[in-house]
């Protein structure tokens, strides 16, 4: 596993992770944070969504071992269009690092994205966003 930068390590350390969790990372290319999360939630699963096919392919390449082991998945999807697939279990926690629709750079898109994420989480599921120190929890509708 490639080492985390000090910034990403601090973000992953701040997430309230537990073994067995299902975690959604929004805009997760190149997959470094997702891999670290996957190794911390033994028995759980991380799904990375990225709006860019190039970004999703980068995650697939960088996290091939975790994908093969069933710890991690990747989907090319824009956050504002994301929906659980039929029969897909909801997520316990979602996080995003420098995603404009969630860190305040694109507030109009943020409303839609927060609704999509809320629909993909278990009741009481939590969203954490990093747009500059510190990592903060975002209230969901």
Q: Report pLDDT digits (tens) over 69-106.
A: 999 999 999 999 999 999 999 999 999 999 989 988 88
Task: Look up the domain containing 15 and give its range.
Answer: 6-138
Q: Which residues pair with 94 in a beta bridge?
A: 24, 127
pTM score, whole prediction: 0.95
Q: Is residue 1 in a domain? A: no
Rg (CA), the chain: 14
Instruction: Tell me how many domains the chain contains.
Output: 1
The Cα–Cα gap between 39 and 52 comes to: 25
CATH number of the CATH domain containing 96? 3.40.50.150
Q: Per the structure block, which two tokens stand in for 92?
A: 């316990």
Mean pLDDT across the chain: 94
Q: Is residue 47 in a domain? A: yes
Contact 82, 112 (CB under 8 A): no
The Cα–Cα gap between 134 and 117 comes to: 21
């Amino acid at each position: 596993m490639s080492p985390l930068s000090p910034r990403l390590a601090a973000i992953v350390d701040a997430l309230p992770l537990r073994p067995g969790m299902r975690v959604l990372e929004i805009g997760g290319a190149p997959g470094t944070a997702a891999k670290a999360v996957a190794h911390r939630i033994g028995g759980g699963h991380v799904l990375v969504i990225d709006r860019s096919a190039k970004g999703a392919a980068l995650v697939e390449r960088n996290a091939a071992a975790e994908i093969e082991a069933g710890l991690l998945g990747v989907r090319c999807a824009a956050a504002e269009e994301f929906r659980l697939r039929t029969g897909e279990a909801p997520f316990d926690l979602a996080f995003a690092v420098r995603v404009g629709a969630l860190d305040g750079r694109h507030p109009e898109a943020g409303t839609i994205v927060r609704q999509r994420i809320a629909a993909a989480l278990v009741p009481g599921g939590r969203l954490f966003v990093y747009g500059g120190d510190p990592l903060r929890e975002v209230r969901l509708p």
